[in-house]
Structure 1
Amino acid sequence: MAFEKVSEQSSLYSDLEKKPIRELLEDINTEDQKVALAVQKIIPQIEKLVSQIVPRMQQGGRLFYLGAGTSGRLGVLDASEIPPTFGMPPTLIIGLIAGGENALRNPVENAEDDMERGWQELTEHQISDKDTVIGIAASGTTPYVIGALREARKNGILTGCITSNPDSPMAAESDVALEMVVGPEYVTGSSRMKSGTGQKMILNMISTSVMIQLGRVKGNKMVNMQLSNQKLVDRGTRMIVEELGLPYERAKSMLLLHGSVKKAIDAYKGSI
């Protein structure tokens, strides 16, 4: 039986070019509301994947995202936000996109059709069995991702995937498949819409829960964030004020001296 792509089915809406702006926006919003519910249904699978990622990372493992087009860009985006948000090195969660850096802004012809390239890029990063590879593809059929997952699995590496189609070839190569069925896109086949929104939600869930499990959050605060602008310095200062009851300027001086909220608080408590 041929593999059917739910994500490629015809939109539930017709004659889009004839609709007034308000109706377009309301219809898109109606479709977007289905995404969170689709993600909710697969929380047990997300939990299964995260619970296997955490012990690997505690042993020094890394997390790799692989994708093409929108999927690849979202993986790179999530990975790039880990250092400033949680103060972790950029080598811990790594996003790879078919076609390389140029593909972040421009389509790279045929890049996603290369079955070998994904695994080649992973080997360039000296991937090991402590690492995890998550493939991202709405279609579930991207060769760049499938080839990488297949080889990773052969080498005893934990594999997962995020897709909008059940029973895809990509899922067949994954230890844990996250099959988020959001239905047909508002513009037929435009997976940058609901599929992309769902991918972003799932990536947020994976990386945030992993970082919390690794101790990078205290209470509900980003105590390890990088102090890369005045807004974040102010936020960090107020965290220290709240935690230790110190005057604002003293808290700010401690923060700038130690470089993170956590280090400043630990240093203060250690000096008492």
Structure 2
Amino acid sequence: MTSDPRVLDRLLSLRLHQQSGRRAPHKPLLVLLALGRLISKGSSALQWSEARKRLSDLIAEFGPDSKTGRAQSAAYPFTRLRSDGVWTLNRDVPMDLVGPLTADDVVGQFDVSIEAALHKDRNALRSVARALVESQFPATIAPDVLTAAGLDPDEILYAPGQVAAPPRRRDPAWRAAVLRAWDRQCAFCGYDGQLGNASVGVEAAHVRWWAFDGPDSLDNGLALCVLHHKLFDFGALGLDATSHIHVSTAFTARTELGRAVYNLHGRVLRPRPGTLIPAVEHVLWHRREVFKGKPLAA
């Protein structure tokens, strides 16, 4: 597949700071950003002045809520990716410090051997990007992550090529079981469109993401319409421990249709008798790792 078969392993074996289910997509987002630059510019070289803005935007939009400053959030992966042996800086600056990065407008880029291998084999590049995004994000927002990183989702997600095998096997019956449990209608708004016998625009959503040990169990699933599934995975919508729907203060809308999302705030899930509601531990994981900011006032 590539002249250096270890390239994928090196880029897909990043040391991520994960503890108690906490998400840390910082390094994968930097790698995706560098891959996008490699495709568009012919080089992964990224100046700190640009990375500071683009990487911090990616982390703020697709990472968990954090009290760390935006520049500091970007400095962590920009300096620490060196320890994985896949990233170099043109200045020997200390780990995590924003000041030295800014003073010299430090340039970071892939290690020479990795950059050469990815230049030589576009399929390897696609495979790395796809495996990284699928290991960190659900399918609902993976295309948005790739687009924001400067990559074409169609080229990355649907082009043929080798992709690393997932560490766990998914239950192929889980989706159908979740839809049946919720009467094939959105648990948030009640939408239940069908075409013949097939549900259209209603999907099975993991509360705790599959990539972060979310099980294929009915107490980790909701039937959601396409819109509310995406808003749930983006963190605009969430739940509390009493099964009330929360809308984030980070979500805004101006039109009547968009503002209809506000009307979900405070509603309680009302499943049919016998349907398991999401387990509290999965709800709390989503609240901590995905939900953005604070809920609207009651």
TM-score normalised per structure 2 = 0.31
> Which structure has more RCO (C-alpha within 8 Å, separation ≥ 6)?
1
Q: TM-score, normalised by structure 1?
A: 0.33
